[in-house]
Every structure is written in structure tokens, then in C-alpha cells.
Structure 1
Amino acid sequence: MVELRLSGCRKSEQLPPLCQLPALQLLHLEGLTQLQFLCSSCTSSTFGKLKDLKLVDLDNFDRFYDQVVQEELVAFPQLEKLHIEGCGELTALPEAGVLRKWYDGGEYTMVRSAFPGLKSLILEDLPSFERWEAAIEIEVEHALFPLLETRSLGATRYMTSLSNLELRGIEVDGKDKWDYISSVTNMHLKCCSLFFQSHALALWACFRHLQDLDISWSNDLIYWPENEFQHLVSLRRLKIELCDSLVGYAPDQATLERSQLLPCLESLRISGCHSLVEIFNPTPALKKMDVGYCKNLKTISFKQQDKTSLNAGRPSTDVIMASTAVQNFIPSSLETLKIDECHGLLEVLNLPSSLKEIEIAGCSQLQILSGELDALKKLRVGRCPELRSLESCMIEIPALEELFLSSCENLTSLPSGTGEYSSLRDLSVNNCPGIKSLVSDLRERYGSYHLNLLDAILEGRSPSLLGRLCS
């Protein structure tokens, strides 16, 4: 037998002798609420070929073996996937037997590991879990999971090759030794209590190679974690979602003292943070910004800094992103801006000239867009009924290729200067009754027949305009 799956056997207190299944490669147990252990004793061949072990909702499962095994035993020599979830009585993983000499940093050391081949680890909803090893203390230089590379949910000590880390519902102790996971490049924190408390600050120094960070459902995140983010010098992508307590900067943090964080950050997404009134200072590397479902955000404003500030050695640009119009710094390399369902948003001001794509949807109170969009190629605005004009942000738009307008009932005009639409290829207008006619540049390009047809659509005599324009 190669695979064994048991589910919902709620009266089963003991498994059949697994030592009689030496070829077993997959063992999945779910809902065996009376099971306390896997086998009464273990030899080197019991799980010698097992590669995939999944233990879910084993309410009474508190140990792997009924009897103490010999110290030198490697319990799961070929196991690659380990998933343990909802085992409320389990306090520890199997004892870490001496495996073999391990070449590390130019010298050989003895390695203690019950899972020398483990690549994927998931530990979730284990309220009694206390430690990795039951009896043998791991030395500093020894790796409990020497090959772990995909992901881990739970505590994270002694993972020398870990690159992807996911933590859910973990209470972080500031005294934990996390310096052994400095290889992590991707991390997701979900419902992680205390991660942003002062005593856990030292943990962030372990993530100097982190490139991708997702934070969600964190009630401890109230203000932008400036001290923590100072360590993330390699971070390229940041996503913060569903953190309802997040407001913005701490009230005692003066504007001029705010540091520019995350020097390599290229992509920023903030979503579902309903208390948010202020975005933290982006950096010159930022190319993409995505803000959604932040109902208390009133103003987003990008403003060029004056020469006096430049002479003072401060950054070249600054940003205002708060209901009180607090001045911060913004990069000039921003290329993509997306804003979704921010119903309290009133204005987006001084859009930087570096922008190439703008998409704004579902901002029911938005009234003003302004800026210099010389490089803009795509503009999509939908469900913004209070928006009245695009003139202030589209004075010269020679690069514009795509224009999409939908359900902007009070929008009355489009830019009407000379040559704005010379690159336009895609035009879509739907439910914008306030626009009475196309601008003169479009009139010249498409002749009287197309002119009359398009004007009829815009005036409401035909339902919509959605077409591809040919030069």
C-alpha cells in the first residue's frame, strides 16, 4: 500500500500497525477525534518512505509515538510535506534524532532532525504547541529543517533555507530566536498578535532580505510601523489588507521628522483599511500604487517640492495623503495608480507627470482630478458621479492611447486643446449624459459621419460608445 487516507473515524483510538506498510508514501488522517498517537513504537523502517503526512482535526492527538524511541532514530527520513492543523493537544514535534554530518559554511557539523528532507510545513490552530523538539536541545548551528523552502505556518526556529513564510494567528515572543530565517524573501502575516509591539521590534532585523510582505487582519497595526520598516531595505512589494485599526502616522510624529522608508519598494497596495486617513511616505523607487476600500481617506495629493526644500537637502517631491492635507514626500517615478471604492475620497490632486496608467472606480464623492499627465497612456474612470471635469489633469495628453469613462453622470467636458488625442486608439463612453459633444480634435480626425454618430451617442440618443479608433 502506497497511500492511506482516513476521515471521520471518530471512534478509532488506534491505527493498524503501520510498520506492516513499509511502502507507504502518503498518510492523511482527518477527524479521528479519539486518536492519540500514530503508532505504539517506531523503527527506522516504519515511515522510511513516507513523503506526505497530513493530520487535521485530531482532537486528542498529543504525541507521535506511544513509547519513547531511541535517540539516534530519524523518524521521517524522506518526508517532504507536513501539515498539522486543529490538533489541540499536540505540544511538540517528534524528537530530533542525530542524522549525519552536514556541510555548512565550510565545515561539517552533526545535524539533529526528525525531518531532514522536509520542504513544505504547515502548522495551524495548535493552541498547546510549545516547541519543535520534545527532548533533545538543538545546538545553535544545527538546522531542524535543513531543506525547508516553500512555506511554514506557525513558529519558525532553525529554518536555514526557508524562502516563503506564512504566519497565521501566532503570538510572537520578542525573545524568540528568529535570526535563523534571514533567508526569507516572501512573508505573509495574518492575525499575528504582538508583531507590532515594542518588545517584538528586534524580530524585524531578521528580515533584511525580505522582498515581498503581506499583512492582513492585524489589529495591532494602528500607526505606520516606521521603526519596523527601517529594517526592510530589500522590500519590493508591500500589501496591507483588512487592518481596520490602521489610521496613519502616530500623532506625535512631526511631518519633517518622517523618514523615507523602504528604499527599494516598487509596488504598494492598501485595501480594506477603513480607519485609514493617511498613506505613509513612499520612496523614489515606487512605480505602482493601489488603494482600495478605505472609506475615510479624503484627499490624495501629489505636490512638487519647492527649491528651498531642495537646497535644504530634503527629497525632491512630497505627497499629501490625508484628510488634513499633511505634507509628506512622493516619488516622481510613479507609473500606475489605481483607486477603488474609496467612497469618502473628495479629490486627487497634482498627479505626477510620470504616470502612464490611471484607473479610478467606485469613488462616489470624488469631484476633482488634477495634475500634469504628459506621459499618460491609459485613463479609466468609472462610477464617479460627482466628477465634473478632466480639464485640470489633461491639459496636454499627446501619449493617451485608451480613454474609458463610465457612469460619470456629472462629467461635462473633456480636454479640448490642440492635438490631445493624436495617439488615441481605444475610446469607451457609457452613461455620461453630461458630455454633449466630442472635442474639436476628434471632429477633425473622424469626419462628419463619425462625428454625428458619436455626438448622438454622447447626447443620449444612443446607449453607449465603445469602439476602436483607427488613425
Structure 2
Amino acid sequence: MPCGLSRLTNLRSLPLFIAGDKTGACSIIELENLKLHGKMVIQFSEDFKNYSCGGRKILKNKELNELRIALNERFDKDMFVDLCPNTSLKKLEICCYRSPQFPTWLMESQLPNLVEVRLGGCRDCEHIPPFGNLQFLKKLDLDYMNGITQLGAEFHGYRGFPSLQELSLNWMSNLEEWSESHVVDQLFPLLQKLLIFMCPKLKSTPRFPRIQELQTSCGNGSILSCIGRFTSLSVLQLTAMPDIASLPSGCIRNLTSLTKLQIARCEQFQSLPGDEMQFLEMLRSLIIERCDNLAFFPEVRSLNSVCFRLNGVISQPKEFVQILNSVDEFHIEICDNNVDLRGQLQYLHTLKILSLSGSHADSQLTFPYGIRKLSICCCDELESLIAAEEVSNIVLEQLYINRFSNLTTLPDWLQHLNSLRVLCIWHCPRLERVSRDLKNLHMLKTLNIVGCPQLKSRCARETGEDWPIISNIPHVDIE
């Protein structure tokens, strides 16, 4: 940034100031007499090392609402003391502060009007300021602070976060203890959302009387023992908890306000507690993703939405189908090598979208919410998936057949899908012809064929041998 900034006496807004040491660069001292307001980012370049402000408090006279200070590894602590903002500041972000102790203007809560704070990359800091004293603070993010080993009285202060609504603890790899307060009657009285990510040593938390959403990822399974106390919880998301095989006893029994439960990428997770799930009368959405050892899940009568993405073995396919029939929407992705639904699909009376793949791959199809969709990969053949004689109750509207390298003919049960509106056949190189029964599917509006060379000529418009079979379909696309 070129020098001479201080001569712009009418300047009121400076969204970004980059401090550098190159010849002709503007000194940070030039900010001192500018009457700035609004939002501002002060970023120190990687080569910047001339931090001297000579004791001048260059930000004190500025009516800033939001301030972000991004330091480099060469900063001088005294320089940071001189960057104390005006007390009107509402949002503060500090990145890459590397001293063990924060300056007095943070440690003594000299910014009483702060509403939102983020500390990121302050890896050497050993003490977090007493943000609990900030009466108006609503959101706090603490990221990449490896020097912090405990949160307690110093952090909570004498007020205990009276207004905080959202708290995030991310990549605090050495955080071991988060204690209750013996000074404040009630900690975090208004906290609604708590995110804990990559805090592998943290085993417990204080009580949160009004918490509504808890997300914890890549952490210690012992922390789940605290969840049973969060009786106001509405959303619970557990991700990448490598050491949990099941939820601790009593973990969810008292979560009578829970509406959404999501468990993802927990490789050892085997089952949900059926006896406790029955107490979750408000539960509407259940999402299980990439928990490949899951073998048992109970029926929950209150569910409206179910989402499973599983490679593990499901030992009770009949019960699985019953669960799907009982919910308003579902999105299921399973592997045929582990989940055998042969002889069961015709009983899935609410299924609207069926995607079948001959190879192992994640589904690339996306559908809106409210849809009843099932994706099955690694199918070795199609004919036995559905019993043709019992298919009359199926209301399937969309069928996708993809990557069956040995498929030569379409399954017989296709002719009975009287509600079918969309049929897509992709990358089936040996498929010889379309079924003559397609002509009888009067609801079929779209036929899409891709990567099926033998069908390309047979289904050619007007001239192909199979064209009379599909000519009544309004939208035919063959590539």
C-alpha cells in the first residue's frame, strides 16, 4: 500500500490495510489521524517486521464496528498493545497471534460492546481472555489454539457468558478439561449452538441449560457421556468418532426435544439403542452415513425422514423395508454386496426413485428433499431384485440403470411399473434392445440412453428397429 495515506483527511472507510516493509510502503502510523469507521482488515505481510508504533494507540479514535487483524510470525507484542480498538467495536477477529499472553485490552475486557469474536491460529497462547465477562457477546469461535489445555474460571469470568448463543471450538488438540464454574450460578444461560471439532482429548463439558444444537467431530467418545444432561437439545450430529461402537447408556433417553439425529463416519459404530430411541417422540430425521459396521437400527414411529449411506451389513432387510414404508421421505444408499434386498423391493410401496448400479460408486444423482429414493450399487444382476408377480403396488416414478457391463436385456418386472415417468439407461454396452413392453408404460415421459452403442442405432428416430416401441414417449434422448 503506497505511502501518503494520512493526507486523505476526508477518508472515512478503509476496508483493507496491508502493512509491508517495502520501499515506499505506507507506514501503519499513517492510520493514526484518519477518522475511519465501519469494517476494517489490517493484514501484515509475511516480510513485515517493523512493528514500532512508538506507543501510539492508532485505532483508539476510530468508530469501527468490525476489525480483523492478521499478524505474521515476526510480530512484536508491544505493537499489538498499540492496536487497541475503540470501545465501540462489535466484531473482532485476531489471526496468528503467537505470544503466550494476550494484551491487556483483551485480558481485562476493555471492549465491552463486543458481539462476535474469533481467535484463529493463536497456537502459542496459554490463556484465553475472560470472554465470559462480555455482556453482549453472542458468538465466539476459537480455532487452532494448541496451547490451551483447560477452560475454566478464567475463561468464564464472573458473568459466565450471559448472552452467548453460539460457541465453536476447533482444532484445540491439547484441550483436556472444561470445568464447571464455582463463581457463576449458571454458565451459558442462552447458549443454543455448540460445535466441537478436533478436540481429541476433551472428555467433558459444563451444563448448557438451553442448548438446541450440538455438533462434535473427530473427538473423544467419552464426551458423549455429557449429552444426557442436555435435555433441551433439538439437533445432535456426531461425525468421525473413531472409538464409539454405540451410544453410552442413558445418552439419548432424556433428549425428548430431539428432532434430528445424525451419525456419520463412525467406523466402529454398530447399533442404536432401541430402548432409548422409543423415548424420542419428537425425532423426525435420522441420518446414518458411512458407518460400515452398523448392523442394527430400531424402528422409530415418529420419524418423517431417514437418510442412510451404508456399506455395512444390514441383518434384517424385512424390518429395514418396514421402516422405510413408515416415513414420509428417505434417501438410502447401500451396497448390494452387503445388503440383500432381493424379494423385498416389491414391498417398498412408497418408493419413488430407484437407482441401480453395477459398480461400486457413490451416487452422483441429487434430488430435492421430500423424495423417497433408494440407490443400490454393486448389483450383479437385475431380474431377481423385484418379484414381477408382486410388483402391482409399486409407485416407482424414476428408474436409473447404470454401468451393467454384462446386461443384455432389461428385467421383466420393468413392464409392471405403471407409474414410471423417467427411465435412464447409462453405460450398458452389451444391452441389445429395449423391451417391447415399454410401449405399454403410458405414464413414461422421458427416456434417456447414454453409452449403449447397440441401442443407438436400434432406437434411431424414424429409422431404428426399436423406434416404434419408444416413439410415443414425449422426450427421448440418446447419446
Partner of residue 162, structure 1 = 164
Partner of residue 88, structure 1 = 98
Give the Cα–Cα distance (whole angstroms) in 1 for the partners of residues 256 and 163 of structure 2. 25
Amino acid paired to 2:96: G
The answer to whether structure 1 residue 274 and structure 2 residue 276 are counterparts is: no
Structure 2, unaligned runs of 5 or more: 1-10, 144-150, 360-376, 460-469
The answer to whether structure 1 residue 79 and structure 2 residue 80 are counterparts is: no
Amino acid paired to 1:188: L
Partner SS state of residue 69, structure 2: strand
Partner SS state of residue 446, structure 1: coil
- Alpha-carbon spacing, 1:28–1:78, altered in 2? closer, same or farther (3 Å): same
Map residues 303-318 of structure 1 onto 2, 5 A cutoff.
none
The answer to whether structure 1 residue 53 and structure 2 residue 67 are counterparts is: yes
Partner of residue 286, structure 1 = 283
Alpha-carbon contact 1:235-1:265 (below 8 Å) kept = yes
Superposed displacement of residue 167, structure 1: 0.9
Partner SS state of residue 123, structure 1: strand
- Alpha-carbon spacing, 1:63–1:398, altered in 2? closer, same or farther (3 Å): farther
The answer to whether structure 1 residue 265 and structure 2 residue 258 are counterparts is: yes
1:420-446: CA deviation from partner (whole Å, max 9, x where unpaired)? 855543444445789998798x77543
Partner of residue 363, structure 1 = 335
Amino acid paired to 2:167: L
Amino acid paired to 1:337: V
In the comparison of the two structures, how many residue pairs are matched?
A: 392
Q: Aligned match of 1:152 in 137, 141, 145?
A: 141
Superposed displacement of residue 89, structure 1: 0.5
The answer to whether structure 1 residue 129 and structure 2 residue 141 are counterparts is: no
Structure 1, unaligned runs of 5 or more: 98-111, 300-319, 322-328
Alpha-carbon contact 2:432-2:454 (below 8 Å) kept = no
- Alpha-carbon spacing, 1:65–1:258, altered in 2? closer, same or farther (3 Å): closer
Amino acid paired to 1:291: I
Alpha-carbon contact 1:18-1:39 (below 8 Å) kept = no
Partner SS state of residue 5, structure 1: strand
Map residues 210-289 of structure 1 onto 2, 5 A cutoff.
210-218=211-219, 220-221=220-221, 227-249=225-247, 260=253, 262-279=255-272, 282=277, 283-289=280-286
Give the Cα–Cα distance (whole angstroms) in 1 for the partners of residues 379 and 294 of structure 2. 14
Superposed displacement of residue 247, structure 1: 3.0
- Alpha-carbon RMSD: 4.9
Superposed displacement of residue 86, structure 1: 1.8
Amino acid paired to 2:168: E
1:9-65: CA deviation from partner (whole Å, max 9, x where unpaired)? 4999x942654234365241334664668661549x724413332223433443566
Superposed displacement of residue 386, structure 1: 3.6
Percentage of identical aligned residues? 16
Alpha-carbon contact 1:347-1:366 (below 8 Å) kept = no
Amino acid paired to 2:242: D
Give the Cα–Cα distance (whole angstroms) in 2 for the partners of residues 434 and 211 of structure 1. 53
- Alpha-carbon spacing, 1:468–1:247, altered in 2? closer, same or farther (3 Å): farther
The answer to whether structure 1 residue 5 and structure 2 residue 36 are counterparts is: no
Higher mean alpha-carbon deviation, 33-42 vs 345-354, is at 33-42
Amino acid paired to 1:89: S
Partner of residue 62, structure 1 = 77
Give the Cα–Cα distance (whole angstroms) in 2 for the partners of residues 209 and 148 of structure 1. 16
1:100-158: CA deviation from partner (whole Å, max 9, x where unpaired)? xxxxxxxxxxxx8422332221112324434455xxxx8xxx96322223442266634
Give the Cα–Cα distance (whole angstroms) in 2 for the partners of residues 334 and 415 of structure 1. 34
1:240-271: CA deviation from partner (whole Å, max 9, x where unpaired)? 22333333346xx6xxx786353333333333
Partner of residue 210, structure 2 = 209
Return the TM-score normalized by structure 2. 0.64
The answer to whether structure 1 residue 185 and structure 2 residue 192 are counterparts is: yes
Give the Cα–Cα distance (whole angstroms) in 1 for the partners of residues 211 and 413 of structure 2. 47
Partner of residue 306, structure 1 = none
Superposed displacement of residue 5, structure 1: 1.4
Partner of residue 8, structure 2 = none
Partner of residue 309, structure 1 = none
Partner SS state of residue 187, structure 2: helix
Superposed displacement of residue 190, structure 1: 0.9
The structure in which a higher percent of residues are helix is 2
Partner of residue 333, structure 1 = 302
Alpha-carbon contact 2:100-2:127 (below 8 Å) kept = no
Give the Cα–Cα distance (whole angstroms) in 2 for the partners of residues 92 and 23 of structure 1. 25
Partner SS state of residue 99, structure 2: coil
Give the Cα–Cα distance (whole angstroms) in 1 for the partners of residues 50 and 326 of structure 2. 62
